Amino acid sequence: MISILAAFAEGKTIIKDAQELKYKESNRIESIAYNLKEMGIEYEIRDDGLKILGNTYILKDSYNFYSFKDHRIAMAFSLVGFVLDNVRVYGCDNVKTSFPDFVEVMEGINGKIKIV
């Protein structure tokens, strides 16, 4: 979630002492970086986290994010749809384990988000 906020904030955000994120449902640092790249966000992967240069996203017709079978990645990148248009997040079946109605709630709040 912090990485999404950092993507839209001014300046740089440094996430450190977060090396345990490499060993969750996915390597969350790599998963976040992959999706930040889709947005055009400037970032740097560090041994223990990320450095994110905020507000460097590129406006595009659509954005395709991947959950990497990680419910937290899926939910975090779904939030991008509140700022950017035509957001799709793929591989979100696992979200049901932590928030069973997440897909319906998000698509109901904001029609710009498509969770598949």
Is pLDDT larger for residue 105 or for residue 60?
A: 60
pLDDT tens digits for range 43-75:
999 999 999 999 999 999 999 999 999 999 999
pLDDT tens digits for range 2-27:
999 999 999 999 999 998 888 877 89
113: enclosing H helix or E strand? strand 113-115
pLDDT of residue 112: 66
- DSSP letters of 42-105? EEEEETTEEEEETT-----S-EEEE-TT-HHHHHHHHGGGGTSSSEEEE--GGGGGT-TTHHHH
